[in-house]
Structure 1
Amino acid sequence: MAAAESSAALPLRLPRAERGTQDRNARSAGDTATLGMDSDLIAGPTQPRNPISRTRIETVVSRSVAGVGVIFSLQALPIMLAQVPLRLPVMAVAMPLALALGVGAVVIAAVSKVGVRVTTGTVAVVYLAALLGWPFLMLDPSAVLDGKPWLWYLCTVATACAAVSFPLVWAAIYTFLAPIVYGIVRTQPSGGGADVLLASLDAAYATILGQVILIIIFMLRQTAAAVDAAQTNALHQYATAVRQHATEVERVQVDSIVHDSVLATFLAAAAAGSPKAAQLASGMASDALTRLNDAAMVPAGEDSLVPFNALSVRIREAADRLAAPFTVLECEIDTLSLPVHASDALFAASVQAMVNSVQHAGDGIVEPGRTLTMRANAQGGCTIEIADTGVGFDPEQVPSERLGLRLSIQERVASVGGSVQIRSEIGRGTTITLAWPTEGEVAPA
């Protein structure tokens, strides 16, 4: 029978058999890699540390503006104290206090990363209001101020806050508007009575500095947004590649299973020389058609579970279709469920083991004959045992080209985390034990 199986198998579909064998040899490594990549996606892939992400750029910019605001505020403090006697009593304290609270709020927001746009926008608006109200809040508006108003030292802080808080167009308008207002105030007696040229130079300097800050912030944001978009696109492509790889691995596995079933059906049909053998080939053909239909269906997800009792029903029905009877010894396990891929692998391996028993055990079967035992095991999984009292064989002498035992049973069960134990002696029968999960592992809840 080994010679017939070898000679019949290779001419039928030699390219597919060769490719299927190579695919199965790499199945374990491919499944491990796929599961590893899938588990990373499911668990939420941690994005690599990106030094120029949009969030980090916003944090750096806000903290830089906060630091500059503190430094410039300390620089303006002595001049503000010297100009307090020239201001109205209430506003001499209220205006500096409002700006100081605003700068303090910006520092807190930059550190905590909460409310940065609100606080910076508030500082920009308060500063512009202070500029507009400066000439009207002096004790003597006609008296010429000695030096520059202390608000000059906060002009850069205000334009930087506007660049952080406002949209690009409004921030650009602000960087022109605030220096122009300051230039007008600078020409007034309350602003020092500077000539138009000097006031224009101050306004131009403040405008250029504000525009430079705005351009830098805008370019950093654009660069960070481009990097974030590229990273997101790369992760999306990676996830797509993982799904395609998993689909290809699943397709190879399904193709291998269908190929084994069809090949075994062809072999049984070729060797059918009696009504019993013809009945066996007919049952195997029915199983092969079922597998073809299942292969055309959308596969269930890896998280889907199948009750063990449903698997045992499938195995019993397959045993009933075989030409030789099997005595079924079953222990109901209501609480056990298996993943879909493990259930399918155990079912296919069990059917192949029973088919091998019918084909090769011989006719001299004595009691208890052929038995099929399904029960729980110590790992919280299940054990399926197919035994007969037939002619037996020496497992070490099985030719490597025999696909049924090595690929259809052993590798198929091993690919889903199970194990196969084969005990057979010539003249003393054969026992094949399928265990899932393998010894030392625990079945998933």
Structure 2
Amino acid sequence: MSHVAPRSPLAYRKVPARRRRTSLLVPASPHELGMNSYRILLLANICHGLVAVALFLESLTILEDQLRSFERWHLVFLVALLLNACVLLLQSVRHRVRTWPVLVAPVLVALAVVTLPLAWTGEAPPQDPWVEPFILLAACATVVVWSLELAVAYLTSVTVLYVLVMVRTAAVPDIMDVLFDATSRIAFGVVLVVLISFVLRGGKNADQVYADAIAQELQLTRSRSQAEEQERLDRLIHDNVMAALLDAGRAPGPVQRRTRELAQRALDVLVFEERRAQGKDTTMVHTLLDDLLESLSPWRNRVRFNSITPYIRPPGEPRPLIPVETAQALVQAITEAVSNSARHSGTEVTFVTMDGGACPPTAINPEGFYLRFQVVDRGRGFQPRSIDSRRLGVRVSILGSVRQVGGDVEVDSAPGRGTSVTILWPRDARP
């Protein structure tokens, strides 16, 4: 009989690229992409925006000559590319990574190339149109958003189309020069997108290595916990079952009442441990509160309780029950949040709030109540997006443990404005 229920492996892995592409308007986060991939994409967005602005400024010097060969309405694509670059830079300043602005650039460049024959006035252009340097930038954006293969296909097709347009608009085209120019552009672009692809792949591999390290660390911690749990269970069996058997063996005559009581106690212990191992054991919410107060006792001098709600249901109604594993995870997360506040906030006071109440029954908690905890300090704060990936206290002890039992965690902090950690269980509750 197994006394420790197996748990699903807990690992922090990035969301597949397919999911990112189906939610283009949703900003990505380091938890979804992985810290290294997130930083690379953020840097790529900044470079894209700066290069696009530089190309726009360079295009201003040739627009006077271009207006004799191409209609003015064709400049709408140039202005759109500038606005798109501004959006990328604005999102980068706010430390956000969105997919749609990067995807807009290749679309605008392709439309600009396709509409060049329509905008041609019939006069041969004195030099290459403004759209030519943007083709390479669009190919780089394609490899960031999609894949290397699609970027190469995009670069080749758009460049060939652009060369055909230039052959048509040129007064006396030199076929050899045109072919050499097109080949050199494609070759240089392929080398560049391959380098960008290697950088992106390196970031993904680094995130994978980190995720595997986290998973191994959690597995090692879980193995130690299972060994300690088995040792504790062995002591319980020895202290209860063996005591009952020894008493029954030494008692003369028929089985005495005391022997039956000890045997029943031993059976109750085994039943309790079996239910606990299967995740069926429960505890009351006020017992959870007692465990929380005891767990926070090392910080009794700094913790201030803003509000504590010990009774989730009105007096006279059955007291709500919560799984023991869930109660332990919540207590562990709150204790870790208070510990982080004591170590990093730079203040002497941490405020703790616990409330809850009735709500519609949910899939995670059919009993129909919710619990909400908040740990707040007014210290130096930090930037949640730039948190050190090696700090396992936030990622494992708080986020990981709460989400594993069906809860949700929201960390709100900023430099100089303190930190607020809000824990809600269950996550599908509607208070």
Please give the TM-score of this superposition, normalised by the length of structure 1. Answer: 0.49
Q: 2:39 matched to which residue of 1?
A: 56
Q: How does 1:66-215 map to 2 (within 5 A)?
A: 66-87=49-70, 91-92=71-72, 94-109=73-88, 111-112=90-91, 116-139=98-121, 141=122, 143-188=123-168, 190-191=169-170, 193-215=172-194
CA distance in 2, matches of 1:308, 1:151: 69
CA distance in 2, matches of 1:219, 1:204: 23
CA distance in 2, matches of 1:308, 1:220: 53
Q: Which secondary structure does the structure 1 equivalent of 2:243 belong to?
A: helix
Displacement, 1:216?
2.2
Displacement, 1:176?
0.8
Q: How does 1:8-407 map to 2 (within 5 A)?
A: 53-87=36-70, 91-92=71-72, 94-109=73-88, 111-112=90-91, 116-139=98-121, 141=122, 143-188=123-168, 190-191=169-170, 193-265=172-244, 268-269=247-248, 272=251, 278-299=256-277, 301=279, 304-305=282-283
CA distance in 2, matches of 1:291, 1:51: 45
**Deviation sequence 1:123-155 (CA, Å, 0-9, x none):** 32332333343344333x2x4432333333333
Q: 2:355 matched to which residue of 1?
A: none
Return the letter of the residue paired with 1:173.
Answer: A
Displacement, 1:105?
1.3
**More deviation in 199-208 or 122-131?**
122-131
Displacement, 1:175?
0.8
**Deviation sequence 1:239-292 (CA, Å, 0-9, x none):** 3443443333222212101101234335545664698x9543443234334434
Return the letter of the residue paired with 2:167.
Answer: T
Computing the radius of gyration from Cα coordinates, the structure with the larger value is 1
CA shift in 2, pair 1:280/1:166, >3 Å: closer
Displacement, 1:233?
3.5
Mapped contact 2:237–2:266 kept (Cα < 8 A): yes
- CA RMSD between the two structures: 4.2
Return the letter of the residue paired with 2:45.
Answer: S
- The answer for unaligned runs of 5 or more in structure 2 is 1-6, 12-28, 288-317, 326-431
**Deviation sequence 1:141-177 (CA, Å, 0-9, x none):** 2x44323333333332232233334544332211112
- Greater helix share, structure number: 1
CA shift in 2, pair 1:47/1:245, >3 Å: farther
Mapped contact 2:163–2:178 kept (Cα < 8 A): yes
CA shift in 2, pair 1:192/1:202, >3 Å: farther
Displacement, 1:229?
3.1
How many positions carry a matched residue from both structures?
A: 267
Mapped contact 2:143–2:196 kept (Cα < 8 A): yes
**Deviation sequence 1:162-210 (CA, Å, 0-9, x none):** 333454433221111222223233334x346441222223212221232
CA distance in 2, matches of 1:99, 1:336: 63
Displacement, 1:72?
1.7
**Deviation sequence 1:214-249 (CA, Å, 0-9, x none):** 212322232233333333343334434434433332
Mapped contact 2:276–2:324 kept (Cα < 8 A): no
Displacement, 1:108?
0.9
Mapped contact 1:66–1:110 kept (Cα < 8 A): yes
CA distance in 2, matches of 1:279, 1:115: 72
Mapped contact 1:155–1:206 kept (Cα < 8 A): no
Displacement, 1:73?
1.8
CA distance in 2, matches of 1:161, 1:308: 55
CA shift in 2, pair 1:102/1:308, >3 Å: closer
Q: Which secondary structure does the structure 1 equivalent of 2:277 belong to?
A: coil
Q: Which secondary structure does the structure 2 equivalent of 1:217 belong to?
A: helix
Displacement, 1:85?
3.2
Displacement, 1:339?
9.3
Mapped contact 2:140–2:193 kept (Cα < 8 A): yes
Mapped contact 2:84–2:104 kept (Cα < 8 A): no
**Deviation sequence 1:38-73 (CA, Å, 0-9, x none):** 9xx89xxx9999996222222222221222111122
Return the letter of the residue paired with 1:147.
Answer: Q
Mapped contact 2:159–2:182 kept (Cα < 8 A): yes
Q: Which secondary structure does the structure 2 equivalent of 1:209 belong to?
A: helix
Return the letter of the residue paired with 2:125.
Answer: L
Mapped contact 1:63–1:107 kept (Cα < 8 A): no
CA shift in 2, pair 1:75/1:242, >3 Å: same
Return the letter of the residue paired with 1:218.
Answer: S
CA distance in 2, matches of 1:166, 1:57: 15
Identity of matched residues, %: 19
Return the letter of the residue paired with 1:228.
Answer: D
